[in-house]
Chain A
Amino acid sequence: MAQFVLRRFGFIAVLLVLVSIISFIIIQLPPGDWLSAYVSALRTQGAQVNEAVIEGLKQQYGLDQPPVLQYFKWVTNIVLHGDFGFSFSYGRPVSDLLAERLPATLFISILTIVITYAIAIPVGIYSATHQYSPLDFLFTFLGFIGLSVPGFLLALILMFFAYKYFGLSVGGLYSSKYMGEAMSWDKFVDMLGHLPIPVLIISLSGTAGLIRVLRGTLLDEIRRPYVDTARAKGLKERTLLWRYPVRIALNPLISTIGWLLPAVFSGQTIISIVLNLPTVGPLLYEALRGQDTYLAGSIVMILAFLTLIGTLLSDILLAVLDPRIRIEE
Chain B
Amino acid sequence: MRHVVRFVFTGLIVVTLMVGRSTASSGMAQVAQAQDAKKPLWGWTTVAEYEKATGKKLPAFNESPMLADQVKAGKLPAVDKRLPDEPLVDNPFEAVGKYGGSLTLGQVSAAIGYPASNFTTFESLFSLGRDGNTVVPNIAKGWEFGDGGKTFTIFLRKGLKWSNGDDFTADDILFFWEDILNNKELQPNVPTRFAPGGKPMNMVKVDPYTVRLEFSVPYYAILPNLSSVVFTGCQGDFFEASKYLKQFHKKYNPNVEADAKKAGFETWVQYLGAKRYYWYNARPDIPTMGPWHIVKSVPEGSVLERNAYYYKVDTAGNQLPYIDKVNATIFNDAGTLALKMVAGEYDYQDWSTTVSDYPAFVEGADKGNYKVFMAPSLWTSIAAYSVNQQYTGDKADAEVLQDIRFRKALSYAINRDEVNQVIALGKGQPFQATVAPSASYYKAEWGTAYIEYDVAQANKLLDEMGMDKRDSDNFRLRKDGKPFSLIVSDVKDAVPVKMGELMKEYWEAVGVRTVLRATDRTLMGQQFTSGEFMIAGWAMDGAGELPVGIGTNSYLQGNQWGPQWYAWYNSNGAAGQKPPANVERMLTLYKQVPLLGPDEQKKALTEIFDIWKEGLWRIGTIGQVPKPGIVRNGLHNVDTNTFTDNADVGIGTFNRHYQFFWDNPK
Q: Residues of A at under 8 Å CB distance from B? A: 30-32, 36-48, 50-53, 55-57, 59-62, 73, 83, 85-86, 89-96, 100-101, 104, 152-153, 156-157, 159-160, 163-164, 167, 169-173, 176-177, 179-180, 270, 273-274, 276, 278, 282-283, 286, 290-292
* Nearest residue, chain A, Cβ from B557: A51
Distance of A205 from chain B, by nearest CB (Å): 16
| CB nearest neighbor in A for B9 | A156
- Asked whether, in the complex, the Cβ of A46 is within 8 Å of the Cβ of B648, the reply is yes
A273 to B520, CA, bound (A): 19
**Structural contact, B336 and A40, CB atoms closer than 8 A:** no
Q: Are A45 and B343 in contact (CB under 8 A)?
A: no
B524 touching A90, Cβ below 8 Å: no
Residues of chain A contacted by B5 (CB below 8 angstroms): 152, 156, 274
- Residues of chain B within 8 A (CB-CB) of A95 are 264
Q: Known contacts being A59-B185, A276-B330, is A48 close to B273, with CB within 8 Å?
A: no
Q: When the two chains form their complex, are residues A48 and B332 in contact, meaning their CB atoms are under 8 A apart? A: no
Q: How many A-B residue pairs have CB under 8 A?
A: 194
Q: Are A100 and B327 in contact (CB under 8 A)?
A: no
Cβ–Cβ contact A62 & B521, under 8 A: no
Of B135-143, B153-161, B294-302, B397-405, the one touching chain A: B294-302
B102 touches A177 (CB 8 A): yes
Contact, CB under 8 Å: B298 / A278: yes
Partner of B647, one of A39, A46, A170: A46
CB of A167 within 8 A of CB of B300, answer: no
List 4 tightest A-B contacts by C-beta distance, closest first: A91-B274, A89-B111, A278-B299, A93-B264
User: Which residues of B line the A interface, CB within 8 A?
Assistant: 1, 4-5, 8-9, 12, 16, 102, 104, 108-112, 114, 185-193, 230-231, 263-267, 269-270, 272-275, 280-281, 283, 295-301, 303, 327, 329-332, 336, 339-340, 342-343, 345, 351-352, 367, 379, 491, 493-494, 520-526, 539, 541-542, 547, 552-554, 570, 645, 647-648
- Chain A residues closer than 8 Å to B336, beta-carbon distance: 171, 274, 276
A90 CB contact (under 8 Å) in B111, B189, B269: B111
Is B8 a contact partner of A179 (Cβ separation < 8 A)? no
Residues from chain B with Cβ under 8 Å of A46 in the complex: 379, 539, 541, 645, 647-648
**Residue among A83, A91, A167 with most chain B CB within 10 A:** A91
A51 to B470, CA, bound (A): 44
Are A62 and B16 interface neighbours, CB within 8 A? Answer: no
Partner of A56, one of B9, B187, B351: B187
Partner of A47, one of B187, B231, B330, B570: B231
- From B192, B345, B521, B647, A40 is in contact (CB under 8 Å) with B521
B332 touches A276 (CB 8 A): yes
**Pair A93/B280 contact, Cβ less than 8 Å:** no
Q: Which of B231, B265, B342 has the most CB of A within 10 A?
A: B265
B342 neighbours in A (Cβ, 8 Å): 163
CB distance from B248 to the nearest CB of A (A): 12
A42-B280 in contact (CB<8A): yes
User: How many angstroms from the CA of A92 to the CA of B554 in the assembled complex?
Assistant: 32
Q: Is the CB–CB distance between A160 and B12 below 8 Å?
A: yes
Set B273, B296, B301: member contacting A61, Cβ < 8 A: B273
Residues of A within 8 Å of B275, CB to CB, are 91
Closest to B495 in A: A44
B299 touches A104 (CB 8 A): yes
Give the contacting residue for B552; candidates A48, A153, A278, A290; CB below 8 A: A48
CB–CB B185/A30 < 8 A: no
Chain B: minimal CB distance from A125 (Å): 35
Contact status B263-A93, CB under 8 Å = yes
